[in-house]
Amino acid sequence: MTIDSAAPKPNWFSRLAHPGNFMGWSRPVLWPLGIATALLFGLGLWFALFNSPADYQMGETVRIMYVHVPNAWLSQFVYGAMFVAALGTLVWRHPLADVAQKAAAPLGATFTALALFSGALWGRPTWGTFWEWDGRMTSTLVLLFIYLGIIALWRAFDDPLRAGRIVAVVTLVGALDIPVIKLSVDWWNTLHQPESILTASGPKMPGSILTPLFVMMAAFTLLFLLLQLVSMRTEILKRRAETLSRQAAARPA
């Protein structure tokens, strides 16, 4: 038996996520993903603005939900993806894990900022205020600061491997905020409405409102996947360019 045949074979995920393989399979995916995202946004906006009813309590302002909820969902989903990537960095030392983490942080920060912005604009006509220091809003603001801290940390180190490990630890610690956001409406009396989609008894909304909401959530989620793939490719190429620059600097004149 040779050493090669005795070595464990990489599984499909490891092969797929190898930086070289990733650059190969991700490129042809970008255009179809972009087209699917644009189509879903077109359909979702048509539903949201022209083909959905006003709410019996909130009136027309319910339409803000179709941009607020997808961004709020992504603010937590992106952090969940970064949490898995942080485990990939620290536990499995996966070569793409820190690339995925670094690419996702600015996207997550933007979606979180948009959730806060659209939430404030929804809050003014429904609650009478743009902002209230209640559990859901404050914990979401804390999430934005965690994202910004992670982005700043990435920029503080020249060595991406060292930065990746430190950011991974901070990401794991920062994940404590996610259950706080999720459960804040149950733990504290807040202005924010309680869970109305993922409940034990099913969604508390009619289909005419759920349909545009799910289409917009799918559109924003595909947009995140598209931007994540492009950003990961950019980060891999950036590291390749930095290696080449070092190679050039070391070359005899």
Partner 1 sequence: MITGSAETVFIVWAYAGVGLVTLALIGAVWLAARRVRRRLAALEAQGIRRRSAA
Instruction: Give the interface with partner 1 as residue ranges (CB under 8 A).
Output: 49-51, 54, 59-61, 63-64, 67-68, 71, 106-107, 110, 113-114, 117-118, 121-122, 124-125, 223, 227, 230-231, 233-234, 237-238, 240-241, 243-245, 247-248, 251
Tell me the closest approach of the beta carbon of residue 32 to partner 1, in angstroms: 17
Least distance to partner 1 from the beta carbon of 78, Å? Answer: 12
> Do 175 and 83 contact (CB within 8 A), yes or no?
yes
**Of the two residues 14 and 61, which places its CB atom closer to partner 1 in the complex?**
61
Spell out the SS3 assignment of 158-219: CCHHHHHHHHHHHHHHHCCHHHHHHHHHHHCCCCCCCCCCCCCCCCCCCHHHHHHHHHHHHH
Compute the Cα dihedral for 59, 61, 64, 68 and give only its sign. negative
User: Whose Cβ is closer to partner 1: residue 60's or residue 186's?
Assistant: 60
- Closest approach, Cβ 192 to partner 1, in A, equals 16
Nearer to partner 1, 210 or 230 (CB): 230
Beta carbon nearer to partner 1, 19 or 180: 19
Six token digits for residue 187: 């733990």
Give whichever of 29 and 54 is closer to partner 1, judged by the CB atom.
54
Asked whether the beta carbons of 167 and 155 are under 8 A apart, the reply is: no
**3-state DSSP assignment of residue 55:** strand
Task: State in angstroms the smallest separation of the CB of 202 from partner 1.
Answer: 27
By C-beta, is 43 or 227 nearer to partner 1? 227
Q: Which CB atom, from 12 or from 56, has the smaller least distance to partner 1? A: 56
Nearest approach in angstroms of CB 121 to partner 1 is 4
Q: Rounded to the nearest whole angstrom, what is the least distance from the CB of residue 52 to partner 1 in the complex?
A: 8
CA distance 162 to 212: 43
CA angle 129, 130, 133 (to 5 degrees): 85
3-state secondary structure of 59: strand
> Per DSSP, what are the bridge partners of residue 205?
none
Beta-carbon count within 10 A of 152 CB: 10
Shortest spacing between CB 38 and partner 1, in angstroms: 11
Which string of DSSP letters, residue by residue, matches 83-102?
Answer: HHHHHHHHTS--TTHHHHHH
